Structure 1
Amino acid sequence: MSELKLPSPCVVILAGPGASGKSTWAAEHFAADLIVSSDRLRALVGAGEDDIAASADAFAVLDVVVRHRIGRGLTTVVDTLGLDADRRRSWLALARDAGMACVAVAFDTPAEECRRRNRQRDKRIPADALTAQLRSWGTVKKELPTEGYDDVLEPTAARVVPNVFVESTAAQARQSEAPVGLRFGLQLSSYTHPAGRAGTAAWVRNVAERAEAAGFDAIYVMDHFRQIPQVGRAWEDFLESWTTLGYLAACTTRVRLGTLVSGITYRNVAHLGKIAATLDVLSGGRAVCGVGLAWFEAEHKAYGWPFPPVADRYALLEDALQLLPVLWGPGNKPFRGKVLDVPDTTCYPRPLQEHLPVLVGGSGPRTLRLAARYADAVNVFGDAAAVRKAAGYLQDSRAELTHLSTTLVGKDHAQLDQLIRKLRPRNVNPAKYAEHVNAGTVADQIGRFRELSEAGVTEVMISLPDLDTLDTVADVISAFRP
């Protein structure tokens, strides 16, 4: 049976007579803290789940809980009979006000099966009450499709996933039936590890060796001088990028090596070209020179560097994209650009690669146009729709499209849930964290990367919140090795 993927967050309204299987289905497919159950609330405000006298109070509490959960943008599975049209519509209205998807799940279980299940219960629904519910259900199941839900579903295997995975099942099937190739790069964005400074060199070597064994095509490092706020704290250990790449050249044999990406303000551009050429020679022709506009103003101030206005940085980036190939070419001809003046471009030894690839980082229209004119690749963020939009700027250019994302991979749902519980910050709810790190199973990720490939991406770079998952990522990579 195909698994239904619901967008996170969403509201799921269960509807059906007693003993039709609602609570059992909800418990099988959703975490307990996502389910708001009228029976459990009856036990909370009354003498037990079968305390019918407490029903009114239980539903009053249920309405408050549902309203507050939806107001906070939390996935909410409403486990009641769902036979009250006014209540259903009020929950749907709350979901719409919160901008959340809302589906109804119709439990159209045959009447005799409901009665049979009821007879097997320790606490039976009174026969006349169940008969009334079954009678009402005939009307309710006709009303549900008219009430405006995003969908009215049959009870099937279901899971709430980050939005990027909602369509991934079909994409994964396409990859299985007609595989396409895709390159994979590992981005190292953190150097925090249990061994501390003394063990850093061995740790970096171990990660690189495992990445090659997993099938990665490249390893990239962030070009910063202290940790960025999106990843950690400024005082966490953070290695200088090009020095680290030189070490990685000695630790690896196959993967390409580059920055993702070097801020154009951080170094004299001619010096950057010399560094990249040296890496290419020492790595046996595996260097990639990533460059970008630079954005981290606080880092510039901390190190005493000027942080020019955007227009000036764009002028510097455009000159750099023209200067670097000149440096890597034969001879020593001068270069004069808009802002750069290099009288002598001598750079020997020249790179081993006849054409050392230049990758530009950034998704803005001006950056994309520069990449289309001068670069070999441009790295972007976002979902498949954002990628398709970026691809429009690269038509009739040689530039490839690459994609960077944080990616958490679990072998299955159970392991993925464990990883989310282990890694999420205390003050971030699991669904928000899962969305932030694109948390999905191997199958989910295969589908997501197939969608990115179909949008025009030729290489995906992934930053792993947990490097212990490298072996699991190997299962994703192998699906793109036709």
Structure 2
Amino acid sequence: MRLGLQVPSFTWSSLPDRPHGIGTTFARIAREAEASGLNSLWVMDHFFQISMVGPAENEMLEGYSALAFAAAVTEKVKLGTMVTGVTYRHPGILIKTVTTLDALSGGRAYLGIGAAWNEEEHNGLGVPFPPLAERFERLEETLQIAQQMWLGDESPYTGKHYSLARPLNSPQSVQRPHPPILIGGTGEKKTLRMVAQYGDACNIFEQGPDFIRGKLDVLQQHCADQGRDYAEIHKTTLGRLKLSRDGGGHTVTVDQAVDRFGTLAALGIDEALFNMPDVDEADNFELIGELVRQVADIVPTGR
């Protein structure tokens, strides 16, 4: 089983010098995540901090600039947004951006994408925020454009919301046929159907075995309906992790975390993503390295 780190906040208690110290600390986190054996590194793609994490005024880096910076200080760890709102960038520009990250990182980029939800930052920065049904239409068109551009098909694309006269994408991505597409969200009618039709990976919030099992059952049915091999989909979860040696103070030990991720693997999860509230404290990565080594022998079971 693989593990990945999400960094949802850049407001760190160990950072007295803002904003000058953000780059130094984030570079250290990226390097230590890679050195500990984590498979992937993720940032949120938001322009304001989200209310579930902190006040909107807290530091928030633009996602792809942050990933490009991380790519420059690492060599192996995979890089993605968890996830890009479809409304944030024109799809042609988005695919160009992800392709650039993939080319410069040597083939380590993900396209993480979803239908977008944070109206506050849209209004704050003057980004149009269409109704939910339209956002899903735009998401599907963006996924179609992504596949076309990564195929090298320069013929015009005309959809309900987007028209591209010549979707040229040069250079092409290092990963072929394209960087993996992770579609975030667990909506059973639209989102999971799009995962089956267009995606390479899904992400499910870690809300207990019954919740995860139910969403995977729906995804499996969509795959059957689409004629898609369910085993091709890389299944991921997202949760929170706070490790300690003794498991005190609302923390868990490495052994307890191994049991937790083993339960996810038994459900069919291939990669468990997590964030850590004290990620800026360097000594935590020693425990992460131990955890990575112990879960490496756990084989996710098929469904």
TM-score of the superposition, structure 1-length normalised? 0.56
Q: Quick check: 2:243–2:253 contact (8 Å CA) kept in 1? A: yes
**In the alignment, is residue 394 of structure 1 matched against residue 234 of structure 2?**
no
Q: Quick check: 1:261–1:361 contact (8 Å CA) kept in 2? A: yes
Alignment-derived partner of residue 4 in structure 2? 185
Give 1:245's aligned amino acid. Answer: L
Identical counterparts, % of pairs: 37
**Greater relative contact order structure (CA < 8 Å, 6+ sep):** 2
Q: Quick check: 1:258–1:288 contact (8 Å CA) kept in 2? A: yes
- 1:408-452 per-position Cα deviation (integer Å, ceiling 9, x unaligned): 112223xx32xx4xxxxxxxxxxxxxxxxxx42211111111111
**In the alignment, is residue 357 of structure 1 matched against residue 191 of structure 2?**
no
**Structure 1 unmatched runs, 5+:** 1-181, 421-438
Number of matched residues? 279
**In the alignment, is residue 283 of structure 1 matched against residue 108 of structure 2?**
no
**In the alignment, is residue 447 of structure 1 matched against residue 259 of structure 2?**
yes
SS in 1 for 2:273: strand
Which of 394, 405, 408 lines up with 2:239 in the alignment? 405
Could you tell me how far 1:329 is from its partner in structure 2? 2.0
Rg bigger for which structure?
A: 1
Q: Quick check: 2:6–2:274 contact (8 Å CA) kept in 1? A: yes
**Structure with more of its chain in helix, by fraction:** 1
SS in 2 for 1:197: coil
Superposed, 1:261-276 pairs within 5 Å as 261-276=83-98
**In the alignment, is residue 329 of structure 1 matched against residue 151 of structure 2?**
yes
Structure-2 separation of matches of 1:215 and 1:260 = 20
Superposed, 1:31-430 pairs within 5 Å as 182-193=1-12, 194=15, 195-354=17-176, 355-365=178-188, 366-381=190-205, 382-395=207-220, 396=223, 397=228, 398-413=232-247, 416-417=248-249, 420=250
TM-score of the superposition, structure 2-length normalised? 0.89
Alignment-derived partner of residue 54 in structure 1? none
Q: Quick check: 2:112–2:181 contact (8 Å CA) kept in 1? A: yes
Alignment-derived partner of residue 301 in structure 2? none
Which of 285, 288, 291 lines up with 1:473 in the alignment? 288
Could you tell me how far 1:323 is from its partner in structure 2? 1.0
Give 1:257's aligned amino acid. Answer: L
Structure-2 separation of matches of 1:411 and 1:457 = 26
Could you tell me how far 1:399 is from its partner in structure 2? 2.2
Q: Quick check: 2:261–2:295 contact (8 Å CA) kept in 1? A: no
User: Runs of at least 4 residues of structure 1 off by over 3 A?
Assistant: none
Alignment-derived partner of residue 63 in structure 1? none
Give 2:198's aligned amino acid. Answer: Y
Could you tell me how far 1:400 is from its partner in structure 2? 2.2
Could you tell me how far 1:321 is from its partner in structure 2? 1.2
Structure-2 separation of matches of 1:465 and 1:377 = 25
Q: Quick check: 1:411–1:442 contact (8 Å CA) kept in 2? A: yes
Could you tell me how far 1:331 is from its partner in structure 2? 4.0
Structure-1 separation of matches of 2:131 and 2:233 = 26
Could you tell me how far 1:196 is from its partner in structure 2? 2.3
Q: Quick check: 2:209–2:267 contact (8 Å CA) kept in 1? A: yes
Structure-2 separation of matches of 1:337 and 1:453 = 39
Could you tell me how far 1:284 is from its partner in structure 2? 0.4
Alignment-derived partner of residue 166 in structure 1? none
- 1:256-306 per-position Cα deviation (integer Å, ceiling 9, x unaligned): 011000000111011000000000000000000100011111111111112
Could you tell me how far 1:406 is from its partner in structure 2? 1.5
Structure-2 separation of matches of 1:245 and 1:214 = 18
Q: Quick check: 1:387–1:456 contact (8 Å CA) kept in 2? A: no
Structure-2 separation of matches of 1:337 and 1:371 = 20
SS in 1 for 2:112: strand
SS in 2 for 1:479: helix
Q: Quick check: 2:195–2:202 contact (8 Å CA) kept in 1? A: yes
